[in-house]
A and B are shown apart, each in its own frame.
Chain A
Amino acid sequence: MALRNCREIYGRTLVELGQQNRDIVVLEGDLGKSTMSCYFEEAFPDRYFEMGIAEANMTAFAAGLSLAGKIPFTNSFATFAAGRAFDQIRQSICLPNLNVKIVGSSAGLSDYGDGSTHQSVEDIAIMRALPNMTVLVPADGNETRAMTRAMAAYRGPVYLRISRADLPDVTAVNQEFVIGRPSIVRGGKDAAIFAVGAMVAKAIEAADLLSEKGISIRVVNVSSLKPVDEAALKAMAEDMKGIVTAEEHSIIGGLASLVTYVLRGTGLPIECIAIQDRFGQSAENLDRLYEEYGLTAERIAAAVVSVIAKNTA
């Protein structure tokens, strides 16, 4: 699978959108060469606002631009975009339901060197909790492109969570992305793994490991965490022996919370692979962190074996 960088694709897509729609404006918290909003600055300097290291002002400033008819995209690292500016997102954007796009970059543990201050383990939880907010997490570069286009076309607040890492392609180049719709990225009949972001590729790896043992796995990409088509999610689970969720996020408030809630009452055994109510930390590479926090194909595969065993016990 080809590796591609979601930030790079996001930055290029933003320029493409800027060419199509002159109302698109971009705000940046002095991280443009990491978030890759720098391409938009080169292409449309008049519609690019360097806001300095001041995320609170950037976010409410974006609300003002929206009130003047613009479609603003704010950019920073996920923990600052969603966390530091949380009250601005809540009060100035979600309460009035404004058309502002919040892009949280270097999300999850992906800024492995900088450590806990720059890693986001709770951003999905706090963004999902906000009324009117849409929460999207691309699984790869292709989906990043499709999602960025979709969020520009959608009217209302959106939080987009982008990894810093290069991710393998798990979706097709021109695969359609529809807000709210989960998609099956690999067919299977024994158990399902619901995964999000970088964990979708890990889930496919896990499915490969399990297929060697004769276990057939369906992998579902839940890239639209809010809204989500609950009926579709349920239908993708109900004919399975067990369910595993996998996310690079806290066990609290993310995909685990979503899936266990949607599947309540089905009696399906469920295991959740996530960060166990801990902050991140520095490491020499992302894989070391994935091992430390249990976010590996092997751990996902073991969880699948465990849920199947529970069902047949």
Chain B
Amino acid sequence: METTAQCLPERGSASDARVRVEQAARILRLRVVEMLGPNTKGHLGGSLSIADVVAALYFVKMRHDPSAPQWPDRDRFILSKGHSVLVQYAALAECGYFPREELGKLKTLGSVLQGHPDIKSTPGIEANTGSLGQGLSQACGMAAGLRLDGRKSRVYCVVGDGELCEGQIWEAAMSASHYRLDNLVAIVDRNGLQATGPIESRFNTNPLAQKWAAFGWHVLELDGHDATAILEALDQADRLPGKPKVLIANTVKGRGLPFAENNAAFHNGHMTSEQYELALKLLGSEFSADRS
């Protein structure tokens, strides 16, 4: 079976890389929708908000080898906001870590795809996350361990803006700057919505840039749905020495599906049959045209 990673255009030039990320992101969104299906509850909104960043990492930026998931010099990706793992499963399947058919068994008994990331169940998953606030600490430890061994691997960690309520995030942020973990890149999926509503009114974690800067990080802000901006920020992060880096990615929860966009009900909600059909049409049609 050809994987999507093989079907996409070469990463080559900047514009090729952009097209590659855009196409991959659309496929990831389609797979998330298919995985969930109609009338089934799941973490749709946060999976869609981070789809472009995940596509940029897995299909262009990261050095990784789906045929050798434990390659010691690979870059690592940790999804600290583990509930959005649908989009990571989609990326892993499209890269060829496991057969695409597994996506259809999501959250069923004995499936390799658990409700939250589990290294023992799923090839390509790098850390157990889902109890929020812990993934960044694991990413820090991983970055420190890789550096001890003199490896050039980078560690990428996606955290949610709602997740920033967890005090452990800031403990981790202090430890990353104390140990000057410049092989670590955190990415805040700033979609502005937590489970029960807008972050600003429910429990405000802003201002973000000032907080991260005060904790000793290089801070970059970007449009988290602009493939060019994401790739440039990831490249720029490589060039910033001496400190950990954070990319504050401004995103839209539910991005790509008008009925789900900026709608907290789709934090962990279900699509009606009509919404599902619409979603397939919006995300699938163009992809089908590409493949034909």
| Chain A residues at the B interface, C-beta cutoff of 8 Å | 25, 46-47, 49, 51-52, 54, 56-57, 59-70, 72, 87-88, 90-92, 95-97
Contact = CB atoms under 8 A, between A and B. Distances in A.
B182 to A, nearest CB: 16
Contacts of B149: 68-69
Nearest to B141: A64
A70 B175 contact: no
Contacts of A47: 148
Interface stretch (B122-130, B189-197, B217-225, B281-289): B122-130
Contacts of B88: none
6 contacts: A47-B148, A60-B172, A67-B142, A87-B131, A90-B131, A96-B120
Interface stretch (B99-107, B132-140, B253-261): B132-140
B134 A91 contact: yes
Contact of B127 (A46, A52, A64, A87): A64
Main secondary structure of the interface of A (DSSP, over half): helix
Contacts of A67: 119, 126-127, 138, 141-142, 145
B179 A57 contact: no
B148 A61 contact: no
Nearest to B155: A64
A96 to B, nearest CB: 4
Given A63-B127, A67-B127, A92-B134, A54 B144 contact: no
A68 B128 contact: no
B118 interface: yes
A52 B174 CA distance: 9
A120 to B, nearest CB: 21
A57 B134 CA distance: 7
Contacts of B129: 91
B159 interface: no
B179 A88 contact: no
A92 B174 contact: no
Contacts of B168: 54, 56-57, 60, 88
A253 B54 CA distance: 44
Main secondary structure of the interface of B (DSSP, over half): helix
Given A46-B148, A92-B128, A96-B118, A54 B174 contact: yes
B5 interface: no
Interface string B102-121: 00000000000000001110
Among B126, B133, B149, B168: residue with most chain A CB under 10 A:
B168
Contacts of B44: none
Contact of B171 (A56, A62, A66, A96): A56
Nearest to B134: A60
B146 interface: yes
A162 B118 CA distance: 32
A69 B120 CA distance: 16
B143 interface: yes
Among B118, B137, B142, B146: residue with most chain A CB under 10 A:
B137
B128 to A, nearest CB: 4
A63 B118 contact: no
Nearest to B78: A64
Contact of B145 (A51, A57, A65, A92): A65
Among B118, B130, B142: residue with most chain A CB under 10 A:
B142
B146 A68 contact: yes
A61 B172 contact: yes
A91 to B, nearest CB: 4
Contacts of B127: 63-64, 67, 92, 96
Contact of A57 (B118, B126, B130, B171): B171
Contacts of A97: 120
A88 B141 contact: no
A-B residue pairs, 6 tightest by C-beta? A64-B141, A68-B145, A60-B137, A57-B171, A61-B141, A64-B142
B137 A92 contact: yes
Contacts of B141: 60-68, 72
A72 B138 CA distance: 12
Nearest to B80: A60
A87 B118 CA distance: 16
A304 to B, nearest CB: 45
